[in-house]
Structure 1
Amino acid sequence: MTTTNETTRPDHAWIADITMTELERNPYAAYERLRREAPLAYVPVLGSYVASTAEICREIATSPDFEAVITPAGGRTFGHPAIIGVNGDIHRDLRGMVEPQLQPVEVDRWVDDLVRPIARRYVEAFETDGHADIVSQFAEPVSVRSLGDLLGLADISSDTLRRWFGQLSRSFTNASMTEDGEFANPDGFIEGDVARAEIQAAVDPLIDHWIAEPAETAISHWLHDGMPPGRTRDRQYIYPTIYVYLLGAMQEPGHGIASTLVGLFSEPDQLEAVVDDPTLIPRAISEGMRWTSPIWSATARISTAPVCIAGVDLPAGTPVILSYGSANHDTGVYEAPTRFDMRRPPLPHLAFGAGNHACAGIYYANHVMRIALEELFEAIPNLERDSSTDVEFWGWGFRGPTSLPVTWEV
């Protein structure tokens, strides 16, 4: 079967000029053109085919002809077996390991008691100041502290968790490839290696303790649940999934909170409606996650058989990056998708993925974001964006505001 390489067509030669800097700073223009001209195309800087429309992303994510594969940079960062890049029995075991604590009935039992005091504590630290950076002082700390405590890392500071998250994120998105299929910036993985070494040094003693004395922490459950009496999962088997959590599961709620706020600030009447009626917060979050998807383009699939998708013939073994952030701006699905509008008709989005590798923490993440925004608006209902600076977003694999200065009258 002959593979159609989209960059070989004269009218698609522009795809070879897409740069990593462009994707990290503002991927929307390139992906808008991809959706219009080449919705499934080989993008040389990524060394992979890219799916950019909602229809193709969903088709590949749910197709029996594809299975999960981790991106090269993701595999280099997390190692094997990371839950986002495995299949078959290993995937079933890892999903069975993490999902019991994330079932709605279980999350409802503890999420408010876990997250609300954390959110309240961070708000109280700045609510009398009249100004704050919501990303660094609230959204990211609430996200990392909530997940850190859930995992059992209560003694590790929020600053350390945020630093690990940043190091792993930059390593995971160090995705630029050469024409020879090598990493263009191999030194870009060093800080991820440093983070992993620090994580193991901090978590190994906890694992030693939980092996002997199981506790009500997520990692302790991962060690013991579903195992024969007297046996636990090997720590090296679960570490790649711990890294996944310390990046993706910490990043998604934090940047979802911040992006939702940026969107609300762009529509003052909608912000006022949410502040006046907190029951609207989940609608605002859903739109915020569509508008700027935190996990923008970080997952991939690989074909298990020759397949034709959107007129492109893909041999078996062809990886395809699923650009969910692009899919959520598909004009074939959403009217005026670049505008934040929580009043648009409720349509399903792909911020949490699709298929059997959809995010296991959807319910948990939505509640973290809801509780955080409830506490923020309750304490500071007159919140305003500091208009003296622009809001800058960053990231192609993971995307969110780098900072969000706000002010209010005390």
Structure 2
Amino acid sequence: MTTTQQDLSWLDDVTMSDLERNPYPTYERLRREAPLAFVPVLGSYVASTAEVCREVATSPDFEAVITPAGGRTFGHPAIIGVNGDIHADLRGMVEPQLQPAEVDSWVDDLVRPIARRYVEQFEDRGRAELVAEFCEPVSVRSLGDLLGLQSVSSDKLREWFHKLSVSFTNAAVDENGEFTNPEGFTPGDEARAEIQEVVDPLIDRWTEHPENTAISHWLHDGMPPGKTRAREYIYPTIYVYLLGAMQEPGHGMASTLVGLFSRPEQLEEVVDDPSLLPRAISEGMRWTSPIWSATARISTKPVTIAGVDLPAGTPVILSYGSANHDTGKYDAPTEYDLHRPPLPHLAFGAGNHACAGIYYANQVMRIGLEELFEAIPNLERDTGEGVEFWGWGFRGPTSLHCTWEV
């Protein structure tokens, strides 16, 4: 039987609060009833299964588009929402430093001392809240130093990505497509103003005196002698990095830890054999995808997907976190399982807009957890404290209280 819009009237009652608190029930029903459906609160079609997400992400009949809230937060041209020559230039700008061989040449020297430094701050205490004290700081400090933002504290970097996240996911719209909470963009505006205040003088310096920092390379690499890319051109991609690239490894580490705590025997395996960490992290990224539903595509011509006719110019949000819980692809997907058959997941996207930093992010998570488990092999979750996940566009634990014998 064909699903009709009448069948989907329940979607009229879905709120952003529902999605941010726990998107899984809504998306489980979408996967079952309508793998591609218009969700009124988002003002967009949503792809919820692995098959439809991958089809849209790789189809020549779609190109990238940034969500309205994302465009309001980052401005244009952000690397996640452009196509053609601009996309090729921005990918060419960021990718050289992110190639595996290049990352291997510096990532250990960059990340391991940072991870060790944060572990040392609490390893003798016997307890810590690992999201705020380890996972997020290791993630933001590593990327901040790579970008050239050594002068910015880890706390400020964390504040920036949280503010940008609140703004980027302020996606609720009314029946006219107008944002229902315009004030929700204020945190992102504040963060962008602070970022420019810090980064503008650095760009001034790197324009005249290039250094081995990512942003300096973005200004100069691939440009004619004496020319640099305009700061207005690269700022939207800087914001993309200061949100998504800073958020993903930290929340990927935290989600992997929560998953391992749910399977104590698997946690013990990983602690005893760190070579299992890449597999543990991959399952953590599938189990709770940090970039849960933050990317979109737009049809370039009339197209039919999953039995739904879409006119040209129709945006579709790709809900990779939902796709990674698709029962058509994974057995018992709501469970964390280190020994799950290593099927590909969509936590890093698909197609020509798949995450450019896949290898880098995985190395940050691996090194961070290696250092944590080496220092504290008897780590346990504090069961007196709950673990709450939050977010629809970006998702991860809000806190993770742990204890150990010292």
Q: Distance in 2 between matches of 1:403 and 1:309?
A: 39
For residue 16 of structure 1, what is the aligned residue in structure 2? 12
Cα deviation 1:356-392 (Å, max 9, x = unaligned): 0000000000000000000000000000000012100
1:348 partner amino acid:
P
Cα deviation 1:103-133 (Å, max 9, x = unaligned): 0010000000000000000000000010000
Q: Distance in 1 between matches of 2:318 and 2:335?
A: 22
Do structure 1's residue 58 and structure 2's residue 80 form an aligned pair?
no
In the TM superposition, 1:69-218 aligns within 5 A as 69-218=65-214
Give 1:238's match in structure 2, choosing from 229, 234, 243.
234
Q: Tell me the SS of whatever aligns to 1:381.
A: coil
Cα deviation 1:35-93 (Å, max 9, x = unaligned): 00011000000000000000000000000000000000000000000000000000000
Give 1:347's match in structure 2, choosing from 340, 343, 349.
343
Give 1:303's match in structure 2, choosing from 276, 299, 306.
299
For residue 285 of structure 2, what is the aligned residue in structure 1? 289
2:70 partner amino acid:
G
Q: Distance in 1 between matches of 2:204 and 2:10?
A: 54
In the TM superposition, 1:324-363 aligns within 5 A as 324-363=320-359
2:170 partner amino acid:
N
What is the TM-score with the length of structure 2 in the denominator?
0.99
1:190 partner amino acid:
T
Q: Distance in 2 between matches of 1:116 and 1:185?
A: 41
2:38 partner amino acid:
Y
Q: Distance in 1 between matches of 2:262 and 2:192?
A: 38
Structure 1 residue 15 displacement after superposition: 1.2
Q: Distance in 1 between matches of 2:52 and 2:201?
A: 45
Do structure 1's residue 49 and structure 2's residue 42 form an aligned pair?
no
Q: Tell me the SS of whatever aligns to 2:45.
A: strand
Cα deviation 1:271-308 (Å, max 9, x = unaligned): 00000000000000000000000000000000000000
1:56 partner amino acid:
V
Q: Give unmatched runs, 5+ long, in structure 2.
A: none
Where in structure 1 do 4 or more consecutive aligned residues deviate above 6 Å?
Answer: none
1:330 partner amino acid:
D
Q: Tell me the SS of whatever aligns to 1:49.
A: strand
Cα deviation 1:189-211 (Å, max 9, x = unaligned): 01100100100000000001001
1:127 partner amino acid:
E
Q: Give unmatched runs, 5+ long, in structure 1.
A: none
Give 2:26's match in structure 1, choosing from 4, 19, 30.
30
Structure 1 residue 16 displacement after superposition: 1.2
Q: Tell me the SS of whatever aligns to 1:42.
A: strand
Q: Distance in 2 between matches of 1:300 and 1:270?
A: 35
Give 1:384's match in structure 2, choosing from 380, 398, 406.
380
Structure 1 residue 9 displacement after superposition: 2.5
Cα deviation 1:230-263 (Å, max 9, x = unaligned): 0000001000000000000000000000000000
Q: Distance in 2 between matches of 1:334 and 1:15?
A: 25
Do structure 1's residue 261 and structure 2's residue 273 form an aligned pair?
no
Q: Distance in 1 between matches of 2:8 and 2:222?
A: 51
For residue 224 of structure 2, what is the aligned residue in structure 1? 228
1:65 partner amino acid:
D
Q: Tell me the SS of whatever aligns to 1:332.
A: coil
1:316 partner amino acid:
A
CA RMSD of aligned residues (A): 0.9
Q: Distance in 1 between matches of 2:121 and 2:266?
A: 27
Cα deviation 1:310-342 (Å, max 9, x = unaligned): 000000000000000000000000000000001
For residue 276 of structure 1, what is the aligned residue in structure 2? 272
Do structure 1's residue 219 and structure 2's residue 215 form an aligned pair?
yes
Give 2:389's match in structure 1, choosing from 387, 393, 405.
393
Give 2:63's match in structure 1, choosing from 45, 67, 73.
67
1:113 partner amino acid:
D
Structure 1 residue 163 displacement after superposition: 0.4
1:116 partner amino acid:
R
Q: Tell me the SS of whatever aligns to 2:46.
A: strand
Cα deviation 1:217-237 (Å, max 9, x = unaligned): 000000000000000000010
1:364 partner amino acid:
Y
Structure 1 residue 10 displacement after superposition: 2.3
1:400 partner amino acid:
G
Q: Distance in 2 between matches of 1:84 and 1:134?
A: 30
Structure 1 residue 17 displacement after superposition: 1.0
Q: How many residues align?
A: 405
